[in-house]
Structure 1
Amino acid sequence: MEEDITAELSVLESHLDGMLNRVQHNSLTLKRLQAFEMRLLALNTLAEMIEFIIDETRLFFNLDAVCLSLIDAQSEIASCLEADHYAFRERPDLVLLEQDGVFLQSFGTAGQPLVGIHRDERWSRFFPGVEKQPASVVIIPLIRRGKILGSLNLGSHQRDRFINGMATDFIEHIASVIGICLENNLNVETMRRTSLIDPLTGVNNRRFLEQRIVEELDRSQRSREPLSCLFLDIDYFKRINDGFGHQAGDQVLSLVACTIKRQLRSNDVLVRYGGEEFVALLSQADETMNGEIAERIRIGISDLTIKYADQVIPVTISIGAATYHPNLSRKLAVPQIALELVQAADVALYEAKRSGRNRVENAGLVLEPRAVQS
């Protein structure tokens, strides 16, 4: 009798130990989840959020593959990431899709996760660029307000890691938090970009330049690379408005902005400074390069054929250029450097206007060290 009681007590103790271990494990997991969510909620930019989602989810679940697929029908996500100089095209574990057909086909209207053995090539599209495709997967839709934003794709080389019918509540909870954070961040980015974009030409506005030139000068000083500025002004623009009408003038502004942008590199900055004036910041561009880019822009504008109401509108542009080089310039505060760089390009633009228009004038290197008086 005593032996039976002792055996039962031993079994009970074993069960209690197991329950205690599970409670401790669940408590630890809950703390890790809370830490994961708090760090995710504290991120400020879309680029930081994407990095965190992919890298930290891999560590959190100890996975072999994590990919993030997002719907980007209007290229808004790509534009935000490019504005932050985030090399998203170099990340095979981030996929931006123009349409939601892949998600609707995979998840259906109910938006249920896909769980189980990696089946065929249709599942491989959720893991592009992965050298070894996972053996088992969980592919969870990111949904907010009934709209699919994309999917979080988790993979393991263990075939029994994710099996059909397993509970996915924990993973779906994380996906829900990620969906909320993505939606909020995208809304903030959209509002920020809208407030910094000229609605007529689609390029950034003067307010954006005031913020960005400081960042570019800081980057220039850290890298010890030059930063060039172009000041561009459409010739005789008032004549275009007076002769063809303001709608024709708007069309000219829009086409000129597009032509300028095509000649710039992806990391260059173009803003509408005001009226018919534009300013471009060219990173890592010295006097020679900024002159070459400016001349390409000038030729591209003069070659434009702009038609309005069966009339051809001739358009040319004058450009002033200036360059700042941290190694060859006087030491000044960044706001003062920004002011003098733009002013130097503006003075060069005035000289181009005075010398006949449809030309480029280069002010050369600004803030050169003053000669020592003997």
Structure 2
Amino acid sequence: MTTATLDAAAVAQYLIDHPQFFEEHAGLLGEVKLSSPLTGRAVSLQERQMEVMRDKYRVLELRLAELTRRAEENAAIANRFHAWTQALLVSEGGAAMARDLAEGLREHFSVPQVSLRLWNLAPEHAGEWFAQGVSEDARIFANSLRAPYCGPNNDFEAVRWLDEPAAVRSTVMLPLGKHGQSFGLLVLGSPDPDRFTTVMGTDFLVHIAATASTALAPLRT
């Protein structure tokens, strides 16, 4: 009689192909001893299986907690966005819309500094604060943005539109307009370098930019 040497893969495959094995040899469940990575002692196959299942449940619980946290954060942001848009609806409009829009972002989103600049405006708005001090480079930069900029303040011209630009460590810049044709730039600034980062989600920022573009469009020529 020839005895074939079984390797670990063959044994594993055999058990996969014969799921009834441990039903027919139930006594082995208590006799087979495995080393537990949790306690370091030898445990039965049943105990080791329970440890593996507990680890899986623990991972799932952590994942569920993370998803719940993100859902709560998104719900809070959605509520702030709703309150901000309501404030825009009761604005007097005209030049007051730019002021109400910026102040609403500061109030409802707790952003330390907010400002904006617009160009190609109707003549009656040419002397307003939001039409001043915009270079051609700033307009080119706004047109080049295909998504919100989030990250460190790299001495951007737009950051100098804020009340205290020297204090800004992280910033968001949102182009205002449609189809790559900008008529303005909305700027948010924070002294916290981790408030606005390159890895943060931008879905709500895109909605803010779209809403702001619609609200400010009547100021254009």
Match of 1:141 among 157, 175, 180: 175
Q: How does 1:1-374 map to 2 (within 5 A)?
A: 1-71=49-119, 75-78=123-126, 94-97=129-132, 101-109=136-144, 111-120=146-155, 122-127=157-162, 129-130=163-164, 132-144=166-178, 146-164=180-198, 166-184=200-218, 186=219
Given that residues 80 and 109 in structure 2 are in contact (C-alpha distance below 8 angstroms), is that contact kept between their aligned partners in structure 1? no
Letter of the structure 1 residue corresponding to residue 132 of structure 2: L
Unaligned runs of 5+ residues in structure 1 are 80-87, 89-93, 191-374
| Secondary structure of residue in 2 paired with 1:160 | coil
Return the TM-score normalized by structure 2. 0.64
TM-score (normalised: structure 1)? 0.40
What is the rounded CA distance, in whole Å, between the counterparts of 1:15 and 1:121 in structure 2? 38
Report the residue type matching 1:49 in the other structure: M
Query: Quick check: 2:115–2:187 contact (8 Å CA) kept in 1?
Result: yes
Q: CA RMSD in A?
A: 3.0
Cα distance in 1 for partners of 2:188, 2:142 equals: 15
Q: Is the 8 A contact 2:143 2:181 kept in 1?
A: no
Q: Is the 8 A contact 1:100 1:148 kept in 2?
A: no
Q: CA deviation at 1:133?
A: 3.3
2:14 equivalent in structure 1: none
How many matched pairs? 173
Q: Please report how far the alpha carbon of residue 179 of structure 1 lies from its aligned counterpart in structure 2 after TM superposition.
A: 0.6
Give a deviation string over 1:80-125, Cα, whole Å, max 9, x none.
Answer: xxxxxxxx6xxxxx53138672433323445544332111263543
Q: Assess if the C-alpha contact under 8 Å between 1:142 and 1:176 holds in 2.
A: yes
In structure 2, list runs of 5 or more residues that go unmatched: 1-48
Asked if structure 1 preserves the Cα contact closer than 8 Å seen for 2:116 and 2:186, the reply is yes
1:103–1:150 contact (8 Å) kept in structure 2: no
Aligned-partner Cα distance in 2 for 1:108–1:144:
10
Contact kept, 8 Å, 2:95 with 2:125, in 1: the verdict is: no
Report percent identity of matched pairs.
27
> Match of 2:60, as an amino acid?
L
More strand by share: 1
Give the aligned residue type for 1:19: L
* TM-aligned CA distance change 1:165 to 1:75, over 3 Å: farther
Q: Structure 1 residue runs of 4+, over 6 Å off?
A: none
Letter of the 2:154 partner, please give it.
R
AA of the residue aligned to 2:155: D
Larger mean CA deviation between 133-142 and 8-17 belongs to: 8-17
SS of residue matched to 1:152: strand
- Which of the pair has the greater relative contact order for Cα pairs under 8 Å at 6+ separation? 2
Match of 1:11, SS state, is helix
- State whether residues 143 and 180 of structure 2, in contact with CA within 8 Å, keep that contact through their aligned partners in structure 1: no
Contact 2:102 2:114 in 1 (8 A): yes
- Per the alignment, do residues 165 and 108 of structure 1 end up closer, same or farther by CA in structure 2, a change over 3 Å counting? farther
1:55 aligned partner, one-letter code: E
Once the two structures are superposed, residues 209-258 of structure 1 have per-residue CA deviations (whole angstroms, 9 ceiling, x without a partner) of: xxxxxxxxxxxxxxxxxxxxxxxxxxxxxxxxxxxxxxxxxxxxxxxxxx
Q: Aligned partners of 2:59 and 2:137: how far apart in 1? A: 52
